[in-house]
C-alpha cells in the first residue's frame, strides 16, 4: 500500500494505533466466543442394555405392554422401535394416537435417563404431538428417535420423531422438570 491508498498507515504511530484496534477487536470476539460457548456436556451415558434394564424396573405395566426395546443410545439420543400390535390399532385400521403419545413420553424419558447417566426424579411438564401421517396396521414397527435438545438445571427440552419407511409419521416436543 502507498501513502495515498492507506493514509492512516503513513506514520508508525497511526500504524500502531490501527494494529491495536485490530488486536482489541480480536480479543473481544474471542471473549464473546467463550461467553457464548455451550455448557460442557455431562459425560455419563448408559449403554442400551443398561437403559433397557432401567426401563424394565421403573416403567408402569401399561408402558411395558407397548414392547419397547432400546436399540441404540447416542450422546443426546435414544433409538427404539414401537411394535404395531393389534391391541394398539383402533377401528380405523391405524396405530392409535394414544400409543404414539405414550411412546413419545417414554422415549424422551429414556433419552433423559441416558443423558443423565441414570434415573433421576423428573416429570413431564409439556408434551406436544403432531400427527403427520397415519401408521397402517400392516406396519411391523415405527422407528422412534428421541433427542435431548437442552438439559438444564431444572427444565429440559427434547424432541421425538416417529418414522415409517423413512417418512415422518409423528413429531413431538417435550419439556421435563427435574425434581
Q: Sheet containing 141-151: give its strands across.
A: 72-73, 77-83, 141-151, 155-164, 167-178, 122-131
In angstroms, the first-to-last Cα distance of the chain is: 64
pLDDT over 70 at 127, yes or no: yes
Q: Cα(165)–Cα(157) distance, rounded to whole angstroms?
A: 27
Under 8 Å CB-to-CB from 10, ≥6 apart: which residues?
Answer: 3
157 and 149 in contact (C-beta within 8 Å)? yes
Q: Residue 125 has what DSSP assignment?
A: E
Tally the residues of the chain. Answer: 179
For the entire predicted model, the pTM comes to: 0.76
80: left (phi over 0), alpha (psi -120 to 50) or beta: beta
φ, ψ for residue 49, nearest 5 deg: -65, -40
Per residue in 76-119, pLDDT (tens digit) is 999 999 999 999 999 999 999 999 999 999 999 999 999 999 99
Per residue in 30-55, pLDDT (tens digit) is 555 444 444 444 445 689 999 999 99
pLDDT of residue 75: 87
What's the whole-number average pLDDT of the chain? Answer: 86
Amino acid at each position: 500500500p502507498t501513502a495515498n491508498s492507506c493514509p492512516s498507515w503513513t506514520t508508525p504511530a497511526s500504524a500502531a494505533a490501527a494494529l491495536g484496534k485490530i488486536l482489541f477487536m480480536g480479543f473481544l470476539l474471542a471473549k464473546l466466543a467463550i461467553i457464548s460457548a455451550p455448557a460442557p456436556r455431562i459425560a455419563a451415558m448408559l449403554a442400551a442394555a443398561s437403559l433397557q434394564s432401567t426401563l424394565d424396573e421403573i416403567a408402569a405395566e401399561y408402558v411395558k405392554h407397548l414392547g419397547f426395546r432400546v436399540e441404540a443410545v447416542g450422546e443426546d439420543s435414544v433409538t427404539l422401535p414401537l411394535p404395531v400390535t393389534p391391541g394398539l390399532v383402533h377401528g380405523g385400521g391405524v396405530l392409535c394416537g394414544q400409543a404414539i403419545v405414550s411412546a413419545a413420553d417414554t422415549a424422551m424419558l429414556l433419552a433423559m435417563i441416558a443423558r443423565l447417566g441414570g434415573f433421576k426424579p423428573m416429570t413431564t411438564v409439556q408434551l406436544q404431538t403432531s400427527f403427520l401421517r397415519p401408521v397402517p396396521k400392516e406396519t411391523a414397527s415405527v422407528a422412534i428417535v428421541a433427542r435431548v435438545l437442552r438439559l438444564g438445571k431444572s427444565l429440559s427440552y427434547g424432541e421425538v420423531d416417529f418414522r415409517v419407511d423413512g417418512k415422518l409419521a409423528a413429531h413431538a416436543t417435550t419439556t421435563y422438570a427435574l425434581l
